[in-house]
């Protein structure tokens, strides 16, 4: 197993909490990014001052506002040939660390950091049919989620841990294990 990590910081968690509390229209997000010196990435999303990438669900703003964002901070290849795969010696994740922690340890560490900022999670689930786990906190009309999932650019070869921001009205119930991952992705 190879685990690549771009560690989170308490300041980055505070920035994500602040973004969760803003309007997600193009102007509001633009002001948020400008105030923090975060700039559009050459690849996708926005480069943060910590070197992470914040990815919006609707990069072209076709709907005028966002419904979700995610910020990957850990990528793992759990295959037995991981050292030969995309996270091996030729990995292009610049400034990401190779760590001995496992996927679950990284998730727990991130959840602890968010718990320090927001208190105990409002919902914690294990995705049905796979080993991924997710913890969610209500922040205004949004949810901040630390979630394990597939890493999208690898077409399912790799997994990741990311901080997600998802629209979630305060009077809404949390999805159960069978629907949580789909809700996180905006499916259905």
State how far the alpha carbon of 147 is from the alpha carbons of 39, 41, 65, 107, 128, in Å.
24, 23, 23, 7, 13
Q: Which two tokens stand for residue 50?
A: 């910590």
pLDDT of residue 87: 61
pLDDT of residue 10: 97
pLDDT of residue 32: 95
Nearest Cα neighbor of 134 from 95, 175, 88 is 175
How many other β-carbons are positioned within 10 Å of the β-carbon of residue 77?
Answer: 23
Structural domain boundaries in the chain: 2-185
What does the pLDDT look like over 124-150, one tens digit per residue?
999 877 888 999 999 999 999 999 998
pLDDT of residue 138: 98
pLDDT of residue 82: 65
Contact 64, 25 (CB under 8 A): yes
* Helix axes of 103-118 and 10-20: crossing angle, nearest 10 degrees: 60
pLDDT of residue 173: 96
How many other β-carbons are positioned within 10 Å of the β-carbon of residue 70?
Answer: 23
pLDDT of residue 83: 65
pLDDT of residue 43: 74
Q: What is the pLDDT along the chain (188 residues), one digit of tens a residue?
A: 778 889 999 999 999 999 999 989 999 999 999 999 999 887 778 999 999 999 998 888 888 889 999 999 998 887 766 666 666 555 567 778 777 768 899 999 999 999 999 999 999 999 877 888 999 999 999 999 999 998 887 777 788 999 999 999 999 999 999 999 999 999 86
pLDDT of residue 18: 97
């Amino acid at each position: 197993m190879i685990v690549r990590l771009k560690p989170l910081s308490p300041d980055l968690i505070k920035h994500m909490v602040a973004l969760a509390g803003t309007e997600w229209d193009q102007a509001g997000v633009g002001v948020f990014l400008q105030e923090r010196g975060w700039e559009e990435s050459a690849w996708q999303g926005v480069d943060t001052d910590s070197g992470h990438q914040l990815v919006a669900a609707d990069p072209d703003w076709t709907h005028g506002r966002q419904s979700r964002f995610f910020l990957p901070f850990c990528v793992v290849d759990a295959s037995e040939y991981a050292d030969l795969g995309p996270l091996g010696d030729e990995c292009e994740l610049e400034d990401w660390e190779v760590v001995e922690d496992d996927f679950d340890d990284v998730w727990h560490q991130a959840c602890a950091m968010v718990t320090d900022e927001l208190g105990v999670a409002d919902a914690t689930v294990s995705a049905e049919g796979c080993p991924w786990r997710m913890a969610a906190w209500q922040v205004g009309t949004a949810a901040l989620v630390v979630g394990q999932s597939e890493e999208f650019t690898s077409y399912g070869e790799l997994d990741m841990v990311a901080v997600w921001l998802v629209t979630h009205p305060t009077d809404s119930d949390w999805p159960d294990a069978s629907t949580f991952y789909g809700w996180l992705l905006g499916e259905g």
